[in-house]
A and B are shown apart, each in its own frame.
Chain A
Amino acid sequence: MIKIAAYTRITNRSVVLNGEKIFTAKGENSLNLTELYRNRGIDYPKFFKMDNLAKSGFLGAELALRTLGLDTVTPKKGTAVIFMNSSSSLDDDIAYQQTIKSGENYFPSPSVFVYTLANIVTGEVAIRNKIMGESSFYIFEKFSANNMQSIIEQAFTNTSLDMVVCGWVEYLQGEMDVLVMAVQRDVVRGDEFNTLNINKLYDIK
């Protein structure tokens, strides 16, 4: 059976890690991803160079995977990273457009440009955790637990796979909607990976 061994739910207001609210936004402001990074004592300077989509997915994966006791050093051949969202890298595309919209002030930013692909976030998570398996990013019109279950179960037909870091990683213009799960085969811990339980976690606000 495939189970959700750990998960992180990040919205504009709070962060829930395996059922426990671990961080909340201050006052009326949206949650600040850099404050969350510092609050959890994470040490990975490359975080500051990421765009907000990559920061969201990185933090979601980082918080969930550390609860499983997984290190960031050991190569993980049997692990895949599969994310999905609806706005792709539009948040960063808009930021990049700002650097090229003026003829007189035309300075395309290379560091912004490199994040104008949604699948960069899967790469960031894979690099951080030495994940060597499949890496994919799907774009859907809206969140769908059915699509998620179908894609992840298909991935697990690869018998060499024992874990998939997966979920919904959406960030657009300050609005974040993130559910990252560490889904494992043949483990004791966690609820079954099915649409009912995926929706239950996604409904956490």
Chain B
Amino acid sequence: MLVSLLLVAALPFLLFTGLYLKSFLLIHDYHLSDLLFSKEWKPASGKFGFYPFIIGSIWVTLLAMVISAPICMLTAIYVTQYTKKTMLRILHPAIDILAGIPSVVYGLWGILVIVPFISKYLGPLFGVKTMGYSILAAALVLSIMIIPFILNIIIEIFKSIPIELKEASLSLGATQWETIKHVLFKKALPGIIAAHGFGLARAFGETMAVMMVVGNVVKLPHGVFDPGYTLPALIANNYGEMMSIPRYDAALMFAALILLVVSFFFNLIMHFFIARYNKY
């Protein structure tokens, strides 16, 4: 028992050390700031600038959050405060199924539905010529993927707020809406932030679905209709040829290292928010 526990506990350190050792070649030869902020990505001539990928990842992730955050908030409040329990009982399996659909299937759905929708309707609507494979497409697909994840946590948080708090507020003459806005929301805020943070970390590391619809063009995106490239997509797309070019494998492992560190830190910070929520 102890052995398996230690094995599991050592896993993150193993991951970190393994990836660090592998990407050491790259970190050793280049400045870290050059790697992170250089725009040039030409592995064949030894130029590794991760800036376009990092920016692409940030665009896609933030846009997905902007789309899914209000939907999750509104739905969670609705099903926990306004409707009967039956609604929650119907919504739960729906969330489970959404959460269970594999990312490849989301990607395929994105190609089938979202990409044509953007190139045929949304692009012309804003007067942009686009193939459909874009930051926006990736963000839309991604936002649907993280909705079940965030929504589940927020619903749990709203359900865990003691009913006395609500009763006290109502008995003081506040309307239901005022109670939600000023009492429940305030109480749940650290938990809500944490839920979105977890969702964000998840979105940042999502690979297949994003890679299938984002367009995979190494260029700084200028708008949401531009194609982009993300860090996970970079790793997944190039694993085949990474042994043929010197330092290429180290570069890809460095990308994995960035993902690991970012997701780790995000989760770490969000756990403090959850801890704060539990304290009060």
A binds B: no
Q: Which residues of chain B have a CB within 8 Å of any CB of chain A? A: none
